[in-house]
Amino acid sequence: MADGKVFKYWETKEYRREYNKKYREQNKETLAAKKKIYQKQYRKDNHEELLKKNKEYYQKNKERCLKNSKERSIKHRIEAFKKISIFRKRKTICCWRCGENRFNLLTLAHLNDDGAYERMEKTTDKIIIDILNGDRKLDDLEIECFSCNWCKGRFKLYPDELPKENTGIIC
């Protein structure tokens, strides 16, 4: 009895806290599904307002947003390249043709030469996200350095297959 009121055991703060904690642990998946549905509906109902807030935030924090976006993009790229390397049963992320392993010189190669067509429909970042989510098959993708990828696209040959005829040009 506190201040003349009678409390039942389920009305105490500690009991409610423990009960709610157990409930959340036991119903984690259900609560996550409900939350996802709620958030989707909220974003749909408040789309314009959220766009306005996001735009304002971006304008106030442009440098930070760009920095975070670049870091996230690099992180996703590394993870996608790891996934492709594992699929190709390689231990390192490198060009499959020449062995170049400097990350900033590596690119995503389409083995059936349809990369331009895929990029007309999706951005490279979207393709990488699809790879990470498992929405994009890996069987026609490979990791190549820019030199190998460019030569393959331009001459239909890799650099080591090109004829040696135009070497030693004097300016």
pLDDT digits (tens, 9 = 90+) for 29-53: 999 999 999 999 999 999 999 999 9
Look at residue 46 and tell me if it is in a domain. no
Look at residue 12 and tell me if it is in a domain. no
| Number of structural domains in the chain | 1
The answer on pLDDT for 66 being more than 80 is: yes
Residue with more model confidence, 15 or 37: 37
**Which range marks the domain in which residue 111 is found?**
64-161
Q: What is the pLDDT of residues 69-86, one digit of tens each?
A: 999 999 999 999 999 999
Contacts (Cβ under 8 Å, ≥6 apart) of 148: 95, 97, 98, 100, 109, 158, 159
Look at residue 51 and tell me if it is in a domain. no
Query: What is the predicted pLDDT for the residue at 12?
Result: 80
Query: What is the predicted pLDDT for the residue at 1?
Result: 47
The answer on pLDDT for 127 being more than 90 is: yes
User: Does residue 143 sit in helix, strand or coil?
Assistant: strand
DSSP per position, 55-81: HHHHHHTHHHHHHHHHHHHHHHHHHHH
Distance CA 13, CA 16 (A): 5
How is residue 83 written in tokens? 């996934």
Query: What is the predicted pLDDT for the residue at 16?
Result: 85
Look at residue 81 and tell me if it is in a domain. yes
What pTM was estimated for this model as a whole?
A: 0.68
